[in-house]
Structure 1
């Protein structure tokens, strides 16, 4: 599978991270100059609080960025393990399932013939997939091995009348767990920007 999409995403995330870092540094520089001009205890406390807050945010972003951009070469020769379940049959397969419990119960080797498409017995897995399927007001979560397709996040695919599915596919073992790394990164970016804009 081509990794160019993944590389572009990592590059964009790195650009966003650098932009936030420069913005935080600039604001800290301005605050520091204000402190030097005004010997105000309250202002000093505010600067210290703001600095700690932004340092914490940058730390979180660094961890997520490193996690997302680590070598994702599972689909290039390594054995891929994915969660395999359906919330209609498996009640604990929904969005908030316990990872450790799920590893023992639902984690499978995607190279096993049992999980390969019957019409493609020799195909090799390219990653894991999570499908959020909405049938009218009912939600179904399907986790499975992926044998074709590219990495996507919440790709909307309309089905029959009243049926809508959102597909997420990734190229690493266990990546079809409850919360994806890309979703986590997006959430942290949103929180960071919201806090940044308020101060």
Structure 2
């Protein structure tokens, strides 16, 4: 292996290690203080936050923030939004980030937690629901292809 190839290989390895050690960056805002934090999200006033260097929480010592979260809550009839780093939970529901966890409580309080870790700033998206028509069409095409394959 030539010296130039070795140098290229070392640079690629170094860049990979540096990229792997950086934490996820999430949007950080609260609609109580910033109306642009609501959906549809306008990140012109929000700040990205590097979750790897996020402050440690006293009640969760040594638990790193490795995901992004958007919380949508209805309190006293008003919707509020908060975007921040997340320490606990899993990305999406069953690992599928198209789904959020929805909880409803007494006194007309509703909460929706959307957690993701697939890319920086992933907590900018509105609540995603799968396109039922697309899923149905794709499933139908898949079934037809399998039927054709089986009938050969």
With normalisation by structure 2, the TM-score equals 0.61
Answer whether contact 1:113 1:121 (CA < 8 A) is retained: no
Mark the runs of 5 or more structure 1 residues left unpaired by the alignment.
1-75, 195-199
1:165 is the counterpart of 2:111: yes
CA RMSD of aligned residues (A): 2.7
Q: 1:147 to 1:77 in 2, by over 3 A?
A: farther
Q: How many residues were matched structurally?
A: 112
Deviation at 1:191, TM superposition (A): 5.7
Q: Which of 129, 133, 145 is equivalent to 2:73? A: 133
Q: 1:123 to 1:77 in 2, by over 3 A?
A: farther
Indicate the residue corresponding to 2:49 in structure 1.
108
- The structure in which a higher percent of residues are helix is 1
Deviation at 1:109, TM superposition (A): 0.7
Partners of 2:116 and 2:30 lie apart in 1 by 18
Indicate the residue corresponding to 1:85 in structure 2.
29
Deviation beyond 6 Å, 4+ runs, structure 1? none
Partners of 1:141 and 1:155 lie apart in 2 by 15
Mark the runs of 5 or more structure 2 residues left unpaired by the alignment.
1-19, 93-98, 138-152
